[in-house]
Every structure is written in structure tokens, then in C-alpha cells.
Amino acid sequence: MASQTPSSVLTSTRARVLGLCALPLVALFAVAAAVPLPFTLETPGDTADVLGAYKGRRVITVTGAQQRATSGQLRLVTINATPPEQRNSLWDALDAWVDRKQAVVPTDEVYPQSDPKQANKVTQQQMTQSQDSATLAALGYLHLSPDQVKVTIDLGDIGGPSGGQMLALGIVDKLAGDGRGGELTGGKTVAGTGTVSADGRIGEVGGVPLKTQAAARDGATVFLLPRSECTQGKVNTPAGLRLVPVDTLADSIAALQALNSGGAVPHC
């Protein structure tokens, strides 16, 4: 029987030590990977043409003023998020990190209310407030009285405040078009995001990289977004999607008018 050299004995010992050390590390990693983490996974969600219907129901209905026939589309965009009661594993998070169509976000940022029913109630309240603000912003821009012109908005179960800008644009297009006898959209599919205040200011919403993915998937070639979110918008921007930054509803309308007439248009 051949005797082992000192170097071979040392190598064998090292291998055994490394093997013994690796076992608890592997076990620890396996446990960590299975433990639920306080993160929510987000993906591009539905888009809804506010000039048309969503899930079989007309989105915007105006009474007290004549509605125009419209062409083109104004698409509100959404994000899908795993429900607050779902706890995702390390494997889920790692998979999302490398997928441009997913995002990993702390759950308490997406759902400040841990109770799913309360979270849904809050997002619906935000949508109701967004609809009211969009109506006031649009009518204010057109110098129409909310006492004479009534606007009803139906977006089903879509919640949150981020559809305000597109809803306001939809109301303006239905009542006045581009203000020059043409369509506000110019016949194009325009998407966008941003809150809107009653006086027409456009606010941040977050999740822009996922929303641009949803917009491009559903045919948009123009994407309106709050100016302060241009940096987000330029992350993985889909090919063929033009980013147009705005600060106010008047900015949005002016940008669309310029797009239709070949004028200068702001860009990110």
C-alpha cells in the first residue's frame, strides 16, 4: 500500500474541512431562500383607453355638454402587484431583479395598510379622488362650470391616483379636442401616467419603467410623464416609445398639439 505524501494529506484535509464548512452554509442558504421576505413583486399591468371602454363599460361619460367623436387612444397604465398577504421568497426576489419586466419593492411602500381589505379600500378612495381632481382640472382648463357639466368615470376595479392626467386629457378631448378643430391624440395611441390636482398640476406616481413596458405592449408611441420622473422613464425604455415630460395639464395639451402640428416637443 502506497504511503501518502505530506502534500496529499494536507490537500485531503483541506477538502474535508471545506466540505464540512460548506454543509451548514448550504443549509443556511436553503432556509434563507425559503423564508418569506417583506417585498412585493410588480409587473406591467393593464392599460385602459379612457376615450373608449374598459371591460365592456364606457370610461368617461359627459352630460350637460355635447361630446365629440374621438379617434386615437389615450391609455391610462397600471401596475400589477402581488397581494399584501403574499410573502415572496429570496428566489422570487432574485428572479425579479434580473427581469426587466419585474420590480422588487418593499411591501410597506406598496401597501402601507397590511390588511388586504383596507389596502383595497384605500386604493379605491385614491381613484375616486383622482377622478374628481381630473374632472375639475379638465373643466377648469376649458373654463366650464362643474355645476353645468357632469362627468362620470368608470374604471371598474382599477385603483390608485396615477390615472389622473390621462383622465383629464380624456375629458378635454371629448369636449374640445385639440382646441383647433382636430383630435387631441392626432389619431395616435398616447399613454401616460401622473396624478393631477384640481388646478392642473401633474404629480409623481412611481413605477414608470413598468408602465412604459405596458404602454408599448398595447401600442402606444407617445408616453406622457411627470418631468421629475424622466430619469425613471429612461430605464429600459421600449424602442419606439417617445417620452414627453410635463408639469401641468396645459403642458400635456400643448405637447400633444405640437406633436400633431410638427412643432417642438419636450423630451426626457
Q: Count CA atoms within 13 Å of residue 114 on its CB side.
A: 3
C-beta separation of 134 from 146 below 8 A: no
If you search the block for the grid coordinates 393631477, which residue do you land on?
196
Over range 116-140, report the average pLDDT: 86
Could you give the CA distance from residue 152 to residue 132 in angstroms, rounded to a whole number? 9
**How many other C-beta atoms are found inside a 10 Å radius of the C-beta of residue 196?**
28
> What's the whole-number average pLDDT of the chain?
84
Q: What is the tens place of the pLDDT at every residue in 132-185?
A: 999 999 999 999 999 999 999 999 888 888 899 999 999 999 999 998 889 999
Over range 116-134, report the average pLDDT: 82
Q: Bigger pLDDT: 233 or 15?
A: 233
Q: What is the pLDDT of residue 21?
A: 47
**How many other C-beta atoms are found inside a 10 Å radius of the C-beta of residue 178?**
19
Model confidence at 36, in pLDDT bands (50, 70, 90)? low
Over range 57-64, report the average pLDDT: 96
User: Nearest CA to 71 among 234, 196, 235, 185?
Assistant: 185
Q: What is the tens place of the pLDDT at every residue in 226-254?
A: 999 999 999 999 999 999 999 999 999 99
Q: Bigger pLDDT: 84 or 47?
A: 47
Helix axes 6-34, 90-97, angle to 10 degrees: 90
The Cα-based distances of 83 to 60, 76, 209 in angstroms read 28, 21, 20
User: Nearest CA to 207 among 103, 128, 129, 124?
Assistant: 103
One-character DSSP codes across 221-255: SEEEEEGGGHHHHTTTPPTT-EEEEESBHHHHHHH
Lowest mean pLDDT among 66-80, 95-109, 203-217: 95-109
pLDDT of residue 120 exceeding 50, the answer is yes
Q: What is the pLDDT of residue 30?
A: 43
Q: What is the pLDDT of residue 37?
A: 59
Q: What is the pLDDT of residue 115?
A: 67
Over range 26-50, report the average pLDDT: 68
Q: If you ran DSSP here, which 8-state letter would residue 201 be given?
A: B
Q: What is the pLDDT of residue 96?
A: 64
Q: What is the pLDDT of residue 117?
A: 72
Q: What is the pLDDT of residue 23?
A: 44
pLDDT of residue 1 exceeding 70, the answer is no
